[in-house]
Structure 1
């Protein structure tokens, strides 16, 4: 609070400005839609990379650790320049702790609007370029993430991106960050709200073609790099009265043997998630099979009715009578639409992510076990 008081004191010490007539409010003309692409040249440059400041990385890691599980999510702020999306700031959003989803969503919207007003007042970056989401064991496929990214991709200039942060990798000492956006084929099917089997075939959609990954790089300032170097290369102070040359340098962090941990607990947890995802996929496939059989029965009834009406009309024509009027089959038989297969695709993506995480964890554990075996034999 010292800075505002000093600014107020300086402003009070200056002479009062002379009264002047207030200038007229400027008027602006709306840019025609046909000229918007000509004026906004940056919108025509394709997005090729995402650059995240080190401050944003630390804020995301801190929020993900403090939040429960993988509920941490927030807004990314920055700008896009020459095909690079520069993320310079971020802020966390409150989690959906309430049972009333509508009320909770309105509360999050009000909080986001208040944060944007506060950032604008302090002249900080207030341009939304995407959002971030925490995840565990590499799995982040869910309907909420897809719908949020679709909204950003429709309203933002370059579509925006979603940065996912893996908590399980960070616990093992690897800060894992990946940037994604929806593919053009999936976004087209999502806007049509059509994930039937013919639509998936025409768009060539699978769980691996829902998102496309964008290269991400972390940018740190020289001052931050120097600070990290001072933390890792600290020196031990010599006792009072001792020779200064006797001070020896040593690592600031004590030796750790966590790298030798086989990580059996994470493997068992990963297997539990895989089993849960497989069970959910089997349940979803059972529901889809039931709906498909129901649709087939209704179609068979409608086809049988149409065939019977044709036979009756043929018999009436043979007897010299006028044929019966044709009726709207869709009004007589309620044939349900083909069910969406989006949820089953997302579940397949979740199983694939868990399997890849299990492969990486178990592979590292096998290398450690062989290393211990080789060392014990010698």
Structure 2
């Protein structure tokens, strides 16, 4: 009773709260009709192409060259505007080869959050629009890439893209960058986690319909282009003549000439053939595992069918004898019939074989043309 009176006295001694003014309702201005198609708030404008900044290209090239293996990957930052996905910045993600999967994924997540927070503090682009992946010989089909892109397409505007950089093409003097995203048919099967034979037929899925390519353009800064042009131009230098007087001389450009295009490209053929053989062996192993599982499923189903048929015969005999039929038991409880195995890994391996084959065909055809050109240039019959 004393505590109640004390609280009442304390409440009475406090000043009465002043009536707070009602907050004004926010007002929104309608987007002008001329800008309604440009300001794509609801992400209704379909993505037409990807625009890759020249700085992003150099960052990816540098990361792929310095990475210990072909596992270089990172995030792409930018903005989608009027159907164009502009990639203006990127940063690499660390690779933990010997760590546990759980620990490494948490470490990468912390690093990613820290980098995005730092970019936001300096008012740089911090909107994730996809990721990039370095590969070799064009074989970028793997489970990790599919899982990462599926997460991005579920959470990012326009689904984001994955930029694939081919190291083998860059080594021959051709910087290869391609943009991909998952198809709607594959995403439908992926969300259901169903890659059985029936699902593949219903969704018309093959290895070539997992990803769809998005047109990609590379945008360079005009000042950077002008600077590179000045480096490629021959420069004038002062040379000391035989008479001791200075004279004007012409030297080569600052950038040394590249003779990569004169390479026959035969050095990578052996590696390419080894990769094809390895991919075919992996595919045969996977198909063998699928065949073994299919035989197990067929045996269990045969046992269940025989049990059901036998029980029906017994019940028919009991009914003919005037006895009550035996209760039908749950077949799924008695026989553990495994689910049909996923054929996603087989499709990915077929995609790798196809990519290795195309890379081999391109390298061999280019090298053959160069050999014929070299033979014609040497004047030999």
With structure 2 as the length reference, what TM-score do the two structures score?
0.87
Tell me the distance in 1 between the aligned counterparts of 2:40 and 2:171.
43
Distance in structure 1 (CA, Å) of the matches to 2:250 and 2:224: 25
| Structure-1 residue corresponding to 2:299 | 297
Q: 1:258 to 1:52 in 2, by over 3 A?
A: closer
The structural deviation recorded for 1:256 is 4.4
Structure 1 window deviating more from structure 2 (226-235 vs 285-294): it is 226-235
Of stretches 326-335 and 249-258 in structure 1, the one that deviates more from structure 2 is 249-258
In 1, Cα distance between equivalents of 2:258 and 2:166: 22
Residues 25-50 of structure 1 show CA distances to partners (whole Å, capped at 9, x for unaligned) of: x9999xxxxxxxxx964500101100
In structure 2, how many angstroms separate the alpha carbons of the residues matched to 1:207 and 1:27?
57
C-alpha offsets along residues 61-89 of structure 1, whole Å, 9 cap, x if unaligned? Answer: 00000002211000000010010000000
Q: CA deviation at 1:257?
A: 3.7
Deviations 1:91-117 (A, max 9, x none): 000012233010000000000000011
Q: 2: CA distance between counterparts of 1:283 and 1:27?
A: 69
Per the TM alignment, residue 202 of structure 1 is displaced from its structure 2 partner at its CA by 0.2
How do 1:230-269 residues align onto structure 2 when only pairs under 5 Å count?
230-239=230-239, 242=245, 246-248=248-250, 250-269=252-271
Equivalent residues of 1:233, 1:249 under 8 A apart = no
Q: Quick check: 1:170 aligned with 2:170?
A: yes
Measure the CA separation in 1 of the matches of 2:213 and 2:47: 11
Select between 140-149 and 232-241 the one with higher mean Cα deviation: 232-241
1:276 aligns with 2:278: yes
Q: Helix, strand or coil: the match of 1:71?
A: coil
SS at match of 1:238: strand
Deviations 1:268-303 (A, max 9, x none): 000000000000000000000000000000000000
| SS in structure 2 at match of 1:299 | helix
Tell me the distance in 2 between the aligned counterparts of 1:78 and 1:41. Answer: 16
Q: How far did residue 236 of structure 1 move?
A: 4.0
Equivalent-residue separation in structure 1 for 2:111 and 2:186 (angstroms)? 30
Q: Return the offset for 1:371.
A: 1.1
Structure 1 pair 143–174 and aligned structure 2 pair: CA distance change class (3 A): same
Query: Offset at 1:56?
Result: 0.4
Residue of structure 1 in register with 2:142 after alignment: 142
Q: CA RMSD in A?
A: 2.1
Q: Which runs of 5+ in 2 are unaligned?
A: 1-20, 27-38
Distance 1:153 1:285 in 2: 30
**Deviation at 1:157?**
1.4
Question: What does residue 376 of structure 2 align with?
Answer: 374
Helix, strand or coil for the counterpart of 1:247?
A: strand
Residue 154 of structure 2 corresponds to 154
Match of 2:349 in 1: 347
- What is the match of residue 105 of structure 1? 105
1:61 aligns to what?
61
Does the 8 Å CA contact 1:75/1:132 hold for their aligned counterparts? yes
Larger Rg: 2
Kindly indicate whether the alpha-carbon contact (under 8 Å) linking 1:129 and 1:160 is maintained by their aligned counterparts in 2: yes
Contact 1:42 1:82 in 2 (8 A): no
Alpha-carbon spacing, 1:203–1:27, altered in 2? closer, same or farther (3 Å): farther
